[in-house]
Each structure stands twice: as structure tokens, then as C-alpha cells.
Amino acid sequence: MEKQTFDFARCLAFLERKGKELYGEHFRLHGEDYPLLEKLVAYVSGERDRAERQGLNLRKGILLSGPIGCGKTSLMTLLRLFLSPQERYRVKSCREVSFEFHREGYEVIQRYSQPPPGSLLKASAYLFDDLGTESSGRHYGNTCNVMGEVLLSRYDQFVLRGVKTHLTTNLTSSEIEKAYGSRVRSRMREMFNLICFDKGTKDKRL
């Protein structure tokens, strides 16, 4: 979608059409989510003034939080379609990252937080889906809080090179701090725009 077509109503129609293509005819957007959707559309528009009116910083990534089944993953996946190929983030579930660590070890942390060895490019933008559903990684008896380490390493790339990270999670702020520690939680405040579904949002998969 062209930058000049970021009219909210047209964006909603585009998201719903693409959602039906990807997820089936049952997919639809819900009116109670429009304020949240307006924030997300403002962010992907890349328009600084529009984003700032929604309290968003375009330099940061998105941390989309909400109850199970509220549509976090599907929305963040669909939002990629508004971005150019150069801006488009990759999508990886946190559970898959943990499984890869179990098989391959510490190089997995580098894979998701550093540019390829010898590359002049910066690290790729990523959406890590469902933070908090992964288990602690184990590799040859070594236990590691894999996503905590990935986020700390990506924070360094965010500071040095402006690398963006996006997350979805069911966890509250206090649960994130309990699972990953105060250091990770502090870095996350700098890295992310927090956008939250209402706690009472219904499970749209039912």
C-alpha cells in the first residue's frame, strides 16, 4: 500500500480483505479494537506527526500485549503488508527460538541479534511472537533464558544501529520482569512502544 493511501478507513478495509485471504472468511476486525488499530496504522504509516499524536516513537518497535486469542499475532503479521520489503520484519515464535537453542546452542542468540558475520548490513528487524510461552533453553546441560539474552543483545543493536524489534505477549509488565529480570524489563522500556488490548477483550478464536 502506498504511503499516501494511509487513510484509516481504507487501511481497515485492506486489513480485513487480506485477513480473509490469509486466515479464512471468518476473519474480521472488531469495532472495539479500532482505537488500538488506529495506533498500529499510525505506526506503520511512518508519518512522524501522526505517530506522535498517538503517543508513539517511530524509532522504537511495537510491544503488542493482550489476552490469549485477541488477535495479536494475526494483526502484527498483516501489518507487514503495509511496509516496503526493506522495512518488513521477519516473524519468529519465541518457542521456535528456544527449540533452536536446544539443538544448536549459543549461536542461535547471535543469529537473532547480530548481522551475518562479515556483513556490512545491520541486523534484521524481527517480530518475536508470544514472548513468555518459550521454555528456558538447554544445550549440553547449560540452561539459558534464551529470549532474555536475545533481547539484551538486540538492545545493543537498537542503541548502536537503530535495529527494531517487535514483540507480542500475553504477559503483564510485572510478569515480564519476573520471567526475564529487571535489566531486560528496563531495556524493553527503551526499545518498545507499548500497545495493549483491553484486559476484557474476548477470545476471537471461539
Of the two residues 5 and 162, the one the predictor is more confident about is 162
Q: What is the DSSP string of 129-180?
A: EEETSSPPEEETTEEE-HHHHHHHHHHHHHHHH---EEEEES--HHHHHHHH
Least confident of 39-43, 103-107, 159-163: 103-107
Q: What is the pLDDT of residue 199?
A: 83
Angle between helices 146-161 and 173-180 (to 10 degrees): 100
Contact criterion met (CB below 8 Å) for 120 and 155: no
The Cα angle at residue 19 between residues 83 and 72, in degrees rounded to 5: 75
Q: What is the pLDDT of residue 184?
A: 97
Instruction: List pLDDT tens digits, range 141-199.
Output: 456 899 999 999 999 999 999 999 999 999 999 999 999 999 999 999 999 999 999 88
Residue 57, C-alpha cell as written in the block: 516513537
In terms of CATH, what superfamily is 58-196? P-loop containing nucleotide triphosphate hydrolases (3.40.50.300)
Q: Which residue has the cell 524481527?
A: 126
Q: Is it the case that residue 140 has pLDDT exceeding 70?
A: no
Instruction: List pLDDT tens digits, range 114-123.
Output: 887 766 678 8
Instruction: List pLDDT tens digits, range 70-98.
Output: 999 999 999 999 999 988 999 999 999 99
Q: Where are the alpha helices (DSSP H) in 24-84?
A: 34-45, 48-53, 72-79
Q: Which residue has the cell 527449540?
A: 99
Q: What is the pLDDT of residue 138?
A: 58
Q: How confident is the model at residue 136 (pLDDT cuts 50, 70, 90)?
A: low
Of the two residues 50 and 86, the one the predictor is more confident about is 50
